[in-house]
Structure 1
Amino acid sequence: MKSLDPTLTLSWRKLKKHFLKMKNMHLKDLFKKDIYRFQKFSLNMKNVMLIDYSKNRITEKTLLYLLDLAKEFDLEGSIRSLFQGKYINVTENKPVLHTALRNFNKTEIFVKHENISIKINEVLLKIKNFSSQIIKKKWTGYTGKYIKSIVNIGIGGSHLGPEMVIESLTPYKNHLNIYFISNLDGSNVTEVLKKINFESTIFLISSKTFTTEETITNAKTVKNLFLQQPNVLLSDISKHFFAISMNKKEVIKFGIHKENFFPLWDWVGGRYSLWSSMGLSIALSVGYENFSLLLQGAHDMDNHFLNTPLEKNIPVLLGLISIWYSNFFCAETEGIFVYDQYMHVFSRYLQQAYMESNGKRVDRNKNIVSWQTGAIIWGEPGTNGQHSFYQLLHQGTKLVPSDFIIPIKTHNQIGDHHIKLLSHFFAQTRALAFGKSLKELLNQKKDIQINKKKINTDFLIYQECPGNQPTNSFLLDEITPYTLGNLIALYEHKIFTQGVILNIYSFDQWGVELGKEVAKDILSTLKMNSLCNSYDSSTNALINFYKKS
């Protein structure tokens, strides 16, 4: 990877000058000037999705300069390094190979002279065989009852990815009930355990290191409660507890049988791990065949990202456009709005993927950056958002570039629900782009004037919507395992593109560690009987208030 200060590149300087011409340009004018705008700024990935990025405040020249920026950073070389397993996670001295987990090209990939494709296929086979046993009711618990419920105990990538996929693929779910325990708050454990029967439940302890405090605390609580059940023997743990981790030593120490261990590798980042054995809960929920289709969809997007020229490469183009907004228009957030109820967790999942990856302040040259890196990601499903925060999008003071996602076909064709949902989807991106001016409002009032009564225009300004809010539209054929895999991989590669050009390391997350370290220290303080005076006045006062209560 090239380590450049992006603001000192020739293309960045050109973008800076170009921005002065573009900053007051309205989408209305851009569309009026070019009747072929949609054809130029859209991409139809046949049988998967149509992506329309024409409602962005860009021109062909904008993209030309942005693509020049990508070339100055040798983005294509960085993409090859990703897929070849080069050690691009420099601060942790690791390759980044989540793409290898869905490698249907059957190419050999080596890490430390070891062909990792062999290990990946072994784990996939283990997932296939185990999920088949559970789904076909061939695995029984300690009383002989077949398994009805799965509880995944994990946090971060060990939870968000699998939960998002399972929720999104609800129409494909089988008879098994899937629950997630992630929060350290004991209420999470309590409420999940109310819904299950220990006799017919298996527990997946999902932790890459098997030392994550939240996960191990929850797992120990569940294990202790399991052992308190009537007639349970210590050996019965092997029928109910399974581990997904790279730390086999800690797994066995916990009491989990070695045959119940599903390996993970250090070249798989937590937020990119749903494609690995972390996806075991997905395979259990929707079946291995659908899990495989999820991988296939991601693999095909991998091929697009690796082999498509930059000017037609959708993750690259979307990543560049995001940099355009954050660094020239000073946009601080990006909205992800999915018009599909099953995908209600999607925005939350992308929060981690984006913000843990690119929420960095030090560049690859060890310098504090002077440019904007990761955006704040947020969103809600469909029309729910229209009745809460869309007011700010239409009439607020913030620029919020947004992605709108909808399936053309619904899994639940009830009356005219879906066509109405589609009408709102199309309407919102149009309204955000073009708005409604005072002149249009006045003309509208004149059109409905009755008996030539005087029109009160005093408050029309409160109805004006300036528009010019940029959006991307994603029209998926249908939410299937394949199309979902394709969409997730698209966002993964968009994030990678941004990280390369913003000159940061996207695959570590050192900032997550500080809070954990401080919490360990404070925990020991909380367990002491004496009042606290070892921290700042605020923290001391808060701790002492707790101790006196």
Structure 2
Amino acid sequence: MNVGAVGTPAWQVVAAHAERLRAVHLRQLLADDPQRAQRFRRTLGPLLWDFSRQRIDQAALDALVALGEAAQLLHHFAPLFCGEPVNVSENRPALHTALRQQDDAPVYVEGEDVIPAIRREQAKMAELVARLHAGQWRGYSGFPMTDVVNLGVGGSDLGPQMAVQALEEFRHPDCNLRLHFVSNLDGRELLALLKDRLNPATTLFVVASKTFTTIDTLTNANTAREWLLRHVDGRFDEAAILRQHFIGISANPAAMSGWGIAPEHQLRFWEWVGGRYSLWSAIGFSVALWLGMDGFNELLAGAAAVDGHVRTAAVAENLPVLMALLEVWNHNFLGLHARAVLPYDGRLALLPRYLEQLEMESLGKSVTLDGQPLPVHSGPVVWGDTGPNAQHAFYQLLHQGTEAVMCEFIATVRGRSDVPVEEKTRALHHQRLNLANCLAQIEALAKGADSKDPHRRYPGNRPGNLLLFDALTPHTLGMLIALYEHKVYAQAMLLGINPFDQWGVELGKRIARELLNVLESADKVPQDAVTAALVEHIRQREADA
């Protein structure tokens, strides 16, 4: 499959437009085109995407669309949805879209329709959710569970935690559980919970790991198991404790069973689901617990709506594809090497962290699909925070720093839906103040402001997008996440790289395993001289403690 548009004639045409516009300020582009706000926007259901403050004109946009067409971006989505091994370095499909498919049309992997297996796991997840909501899942003392702790890392933690926080107001009326998320392997996060906030008799642990070998997650799971066994003090056997207080979620059922998870409390997903794309699978169990299965299905339906859009909309109207084209424009043609994600909604506080993993793990590559050095930049650095907080933190750099940054603003027209009647007027004021700040910052970054005092001069010409939803709901959150997933895939296809592997994380893990053996054995010394000196320092300080 011929993938990638780098260096093609269409790429060179875009490069010529970038050179033509390099010295043109956004103030001029905005002033020269009174219809810009209407022409440089797209809508999809309850979403408005405004890109009128990008450093493009109509001719440059036309060239970018032609680049997407020449690269056959829409054609490349067919293998993704049909179960072909688009993850070429591991020879696997990347079928997260099948997890949210709204009908039962077959999707084949190695000749087997995977949809029936997906439906079985969804039914099992619904059964476990219903038991917990009904108070029928009881701990070793016979009391119903009060707390559920998700033990995971990366995609097994960031996605569920982000979604539960974003959709806090949509808590199912039968969900009387407190949800907790633990990912840090240093122990402090988990030990603080175990010490002060959890009752062992009424706590359920969800161990979420694709391979069920991730040392971070299994270390925390082993600590939780030891904590429970210490509290029961031999009154119940270990198998009973594990059966009543642990659920496992993994693509490796044998490893779950080997650890002690009862088969009836195992939820499965598959090797063809990447960790950072796994929210839609059983990894989303805690989200389903919070929202109920109907709410979780709304999340899936929102993502599925974007799946349908990306497969059928022409390049010029295709939101994820246009988002990808504009990021390549900014990064590779205009030289902007970072993108700030700035949600003006506190419920989306964890979205920047979620996108950091999705985008930098997917696009942080330096070779093409066929293993050749990538001759251009791959993905930019992605970072961010909620806009109102960031205004008092790093917006100084965004406005006046020497390194221009792409900015992506995300907001909702309406705020929370669960505000008491007597507080609605005040809540509306807060929401309008929030939106006023969001719109003001986009304008200020684009236009800047001159001043006789150089310290008070704003250069402007900082490009920004705005994703504006009517309201934040399970459906629109599903849309938002799927938009970014497909944007990443389109970007990878433009560059000719694999967005579904992450070999870059493996070397550090391997060295860490070796160094753990060194730290736990006084007679072992690392081969690296600097590391050896640091290990010796640690040993001396441990001895002095």
| TM-score, L = length of structure 1 | 0.94
Q: Which residue of 2 aligns with 1:190?
A: 191
Describe how 1:88-167 pairs up with structure 2 within 5 A: 88-167=86-165
Cα contact 2:88–2:498 (8 A) shared by 1: yes
How far apart are residue 285 of structure 1 and its match?
A: 1.5
What code does the residue aligned with 1:537 have?
A
Secondary structure of 1:178's partner?
strand
Gaps of 5+ in 2: none
- Alpha-carbon distance, 1:199 to partner: 1.2
Alignment gaps of 5+ in structure 1: 439-456
Give 1:374 shift: 1.1
Over residues 198-244 of structure 1, what are the superposed CA-to-partner deviations in whole Å (9 max), with x where a residue is unaligned? Answer: 11111110001100011111111111111122333321321111100
SS in 1 for 2:516: helix
Quote the RMSD (CA, aligned, Å): 1.3
Q: What does residue range 409-448 of structure 1 map to in structure 2 within 5 Å?
A: 409-411=414-416, 412=419, 413=424, 415=426, 416-438=429-451
Cα distance in 1, alignment partners of residues 531 and 502 from structure 2: 25
Alignment of 1:507-518 (within 5 A): 507-518=500-511
* 1:12 Cα deviation after fit: 1.3
Task: Give the equivalent residue in structure 1 for 2:523.
Answer: 530
The amino acid across from 2:319 in the alignment is: I
Aligned twin of 1:443: none
- Superposition map of 1:69-468 within 5 A: 69-173=67-171, 174-193=175-194, 194-230=196-232, 231-234=235-238, 235-411=240-416, 412=419, 413=424, 415=426, 416-438=429-451, 460-468=453-461
Counterpart amino acid of 1:61? A
Amino acid at match of 1:213: I
CA contact (8 A) 1:180 1:192 kept: no
8 Å contact kept, 1:531–1:544 = no
Deviations 1:29-74 (A, max 9, x none): 111111111111101223x211101110011222222222222322
CA contact (8 A) 1:2 1:74 kept: no
The alpha carbon displacement at 1:414 in A equals 5.8
Question: For the Cα contact (< 8 Å) 2:228–2:241, is it kept in 1?
Answer: no
Residues 148, 176 of structure 1: 8 Å contact kept: yes
Report the alpha carbon displacement of residue 300 of structure 1 after superposing the two structures with TM.
0.3
Q: Deviations over 1:477-509 (max 9, x none)?
A: 111000000000000000011111111000000
SS in 2 for 1:171: helix
Q: 2:34 is matched with which residue?
A: 35
CA-to-partner distance for each residue in 1:153-204, whole Å, 9 max, x for gaps?
1111000000000010011124211111211101021012232111111111
Query: How far, CA to CA, are the matches of 1:211 and 1:519 in structure 2?
Result: 14
Conservation of the 8 A alpha-carbon contact between 2:149 and 2:203 = yes
Question: Out of 477, 493, 500, which is 1:500 matched to?
Answer: 493
Matched letter for residue 432 of structure 1: L
Residue type at the aligned position of 1:233: D
* AA partner of residue 20 (structure 2): K
Q: Deviations over 1:308-364 (max 9, x none)?
A: 111100000011000001101111110100011111000000000000001000111
What is the identity percentage for the equivalent residue pairs of Structure 1 and Structure 2? 37
Residue 506 of structure 1 aligns with an amino acid whose one-letter code is P
Q: How does 1:21-60 map to 2 (within 5 A)?
A: 21-46=20-45, 48-60=46-58
CA distance in 1 between counterparts of 2:193 and 2:465 reads 38
Q: Which amino acid is the alignment partner of residue 531 of structure 2? A: T
CA distance in structure 1 between the aligned counterparts of 2:3 and 2:127, rounded to whole angstroms: 45
Aligned residue in 1 for 2:534: 542
Cα distance in 1 for residues equivalent to 2:143 and 2:315: 55
Counterparts of 2:91 and 2:484 in 1: how far apart (Å)? 24
Change (3 A) 1:414 1:156: farther
Distance 2:486 2:168 in 1: 25
Distance of 2:88 and 2:6 partners within structure 1: 22
1:442 alignment partner in structure 2: none
In structure 2, C-alpha distance between the alignment counterparts of 1:82 and 1:330, rounded to whole Å: 30
> Is the CA contact (8 Å cut-off) linking 1:3 and 1:365 kept in structure 2?
no
Q: Which moved more, 1:537-546 or 1:411-420?
A: 411-420
The CA distance in 2 between the partners of 1:539 and 1:3, in whole Å, is 42
Q: d(CA) in 2 for partners of 1:479 and 1:135?
A: 24
Give the AA of the match of 1:76: L
